[in-house]
C-alpha cells in the first residue's frame, strides 16, 4: 500500500500550518462568472478567494523570471505548467492564514489536478461548476473592459477550445466522484448567487 499524503497547507520547510483546509474548486468556461460569484461568496461566507489567473497575471507584473513565459501562454489561451501555478497557490494559502479557500480557475487540466493533489494532499470538498453557453460567455468577455490581453475574439476562441478539450474532463472526473455542484450561470448575477447560496448555506455543515 502507498503512503497516504496528509492534506495540509505547509510552510516552505514542510511544517504544517493548517490541517485539512476546506477547498472548493470553482470551475467554468471563460466568462462564466467565476470571479463575480467568488466575490459574493467571500462577503457572505468568509472564504478566501484565490484566482489562479489573477495570481499568474500578478506574477507577470512582478517582473518574475517566469513572467514572459506566462504572458505568452495567456495570450495564446494555453495552460501554464502546473508547478508554476501550484507554487503561486501554495504561497498565497501559506500567507493568508484562513482555512477556507475558493480556488478559482484551477485545476484547468488533468496535469493541474493530479499535481495539486500530489503536492498538497488536498482534495476539494466539492467543485462549483458554472455552466454557461459559449455565446453568452463571449458576449460577457467582449464587454468586460478590464484591459485583459486575452479578452479579444481570437484568444477567446482558443480559450473556449482549451476549456472543452482540457478543463471539462477535469469536471467530469469530479462528477464521477459525486463532487460537482452544477449551476446554470446564464442567468442574472443575483439569480446565480441565489443558487450558489443554496449550496453553501446552513445545511452544508462542512462548509460553515
Ligand X SMILES: Nc1ncnc2c1ncn2[C@@H]1O[C@H](COP(=O)(O)OP(=O)(O)OP(=O)(O)O)[C@@H](O)[C@H]1O
Ligand Y SMILES: Nc1ccn([C@H]2C[C@H](O)[C@@H](COP(=O)(O)O)O2)c(=O)n1
Alpha helices of 20-103 — where are they, by DSSP H? 34-45, 52-61, 67-75, 82-96
User: Can you tell me whether residue 187 is helix, strand or coil?
Assistant: coil
**Type and span of the H or E element at 196:** helix 189-200
Strands, DSSP E only, in 137-196?
180-184
- The answer to the question of whether 30 is labelled as a binding residue is no
Is 33 a binding residue for ligand Y by CB under 6 A? The answer is no
Size of the site for ligand Y (CB under 6 A): 16
Using rule CB under 6 A, residue 124 touches ligand Y: no
Binding pattern for the stretch 126-165 against ligand Y, x by CB under 6 A and - elsewhere? ------------------------x--------x------
Question: How far is the first Cα of the chain from the last one, in angstroms, to the nearest whole number?
Answer: 34
Q: Could you tell which of ligand Y, ligand X, Mg ion, none binds residue 32, using a CB distance below 5 to 8 A set by kind? A: ligand X
Query: Does the annotation list 36 as a binding residue?
Result: yes
Minimum separation from the CB atom of position 128 to ligand Y (A): 14
Give me the residue whose beta carbon is nearest to Mg ion: 35
Q: Which stretch binds ligand Y (CB under 6 A): 11-19, 103-111, 113-121, 126-134?
A: 103-111
Cell 462568472 locates to: 33
Cell numbers found for residue 113: 489536478
Those residues whose C-beta lies under 8 Å from the C-beta of residue 80, and which sit 6 or more positions away, are: 56, 69, 70, 73, 74
Bind-site residues = 31-36, 57, 78-80, 105-108, 112, 144, 148, 159, 187
Binding site for a ribonucleoside 5'-phosphate, by residue number, is: 57, 78-80, 105-108, 148, 159
Amino acid at each position: 500500500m502507498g503512503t497516504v499524503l496528509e492534506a495540509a497547507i505547509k510552510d516552505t520547510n514542510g511544517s504544517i500550518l493548517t490541517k485539512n483546509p476546506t477547498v472548493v474548486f470553482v470551475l467554468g468556461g471563460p466568462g462564466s462568472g467565476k470571479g463575480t460569484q467568488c466575490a459574493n461568496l467571500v462577503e457572505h461566507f468568509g472564504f478566501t478567494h484565490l484566482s489562479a489567473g489573477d495570481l499568474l497575471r500578478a506574477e507577470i507584473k512582478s517582473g518574475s523570471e517566469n513572467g514572459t513565459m506566462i504572458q505568452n501562454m495567456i495570450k495564446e489561451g494555453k495552460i501554464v505548467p502546473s508547478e508554476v501555478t501550484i507554487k503561486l497557490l501554495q504561497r498565497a494559502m501559506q500567507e493568508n492564514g484562513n482555512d477556507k479557500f475558493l480556488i478559482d480557475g484551477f485545476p484547468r487540466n488533468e496535469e493541474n489536478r493530479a499535481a495539486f493533489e500530489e503536492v498538497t494532499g488536498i482534495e476539494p470538498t466539492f467543485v462549483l461548476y458554472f455552466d454557461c453557453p459559449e455565446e453568452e460567455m463571449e458576449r460577457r468577455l467582449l464587454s468586460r473592459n478590464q484591459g485583459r490581453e486575452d479578452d479579444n475574439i481570437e484568444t477567446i476562441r482558443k480559450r473556449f477550445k482549451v476549456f472543452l478539450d482540457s478543463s471539462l474532463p477535469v469536471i467530469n472526473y469530479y462528477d464521477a466522484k459525486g463532487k460537482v455542484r452544477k449551476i446554470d450561470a446564464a442567468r442574472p448575477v443575483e439569480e446565480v448567487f441565489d443558487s450558489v447560496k443554496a449550496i453553501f448555506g446552513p445545511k452544508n455543515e462542512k462548509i460553515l
